[in-house]
Amino acid sequence: MLFIRRYKKYMKKALLLILILAVSVISTACINNLAVQELNNKAKEFMDKGDYQNAISRLNSSIDLDNTIFESHYNLGIAYTQAEEYDKAYEQFETALKLNPENSSTYYVMAIAYENNAKDLMQANKSEIDDEADDDEEVQTPAKPEDITNLLNKAVENYQTYVTKTPKLENKEEIENKISSLEELISKNNGIEN
């Protein structure tokens, strides 16, 4: 009988301890979610103002707290695109797609990132290097035409996936025109390669 009483008393304490731990885990998760939401909201404010570096900082902090939130990676990809940090943008969009593969808009913003990167490289290649550049200035090596073609192809591929995955697309004709325009750019750029 004494054993049963001690066992019941022990089980009550164990159950109480488990409940306390469960409540603390749930509370911590709620606090983290609130912190993540607050960081994401602040990042959006910075992005609306064009302050992409501060937005990036907030979104990275948000991801440090919880790296399973699609919106954090998606928005960080957009912020990196706006800051012209394209490789980091692609990485965030890929992570966003792993978290939510059915979100077709991720393909759209990733296509924009590839397109902007390609056009930036094309523009940089057109600009002449200043012969009298200061020694302190870093001279950029022109991008290879095949690298630009690769980026343009990825842009086209992502736009096409966006169109395919979005059945009731309002701006379908606009996107299809963009795809045609990029395919023309690819043809011109391939002429440079040869």
- The overall longest dimension of the chain from CA atoms, in Å, is 97
pLDDT on residue 18: 56
pLDDT on residue 24: 45
Q: Which of 116, 107, 112 is nearest to 160 (CA)?
A: 107
Give residue-wise pLDDT tens across range 26-82: 444 444 577 888 888 898 888 899 999 999 999 999 999 999 999 999 999 999 999
Q: How far apart are CA 24 and CA 19, in angstroms?
A: 9
| Residue ranges of the chain that CATH labels 1.20.58 | 104-126+142-194
Fold exhibited by the domain 26-102: 1.25.40
pLDDT on residue 91: 98
Q: How far apart are CA 77 and CA 86, in angstroms?
A: 8
Q: Which stretches of the chain score pLDDT less than 70?
A: 1-32, 128-140, 192-194
The architecture in CATH of the region 104-126+142-194 reads Up-down Bundle (1.20)
Query: Helix 2-48 vs helix 52-65: angle between axes, to the nearest 10 degrees?
Result: 170
pLDDT on residue 131: 37
Q: Identify how many contiguous H helices and E strands the chain contains and give both numbers.
A: 7, 0
Dihedral over alpha carbons 114, 178, 82, 153 (to 10 degrees): 0
Q: Which of 100, 102, 77 is nearest to 90 (CA)?
A: 77
| Residue ranges of the chain that CATH labels 1.25.40.10 | 26-102
pLDDT on residue 92: 97
- Tokens of residue 24, six digits: 């603390």
Q: Which residue type is seen at 144? A: K
Question: By percentage, how much of the chain surpasses pLDDT 90?
Answer: 56
pLDDT on residue 146: 92
pLDDT on residue 140: 65
pLDDT on residue 7: 58
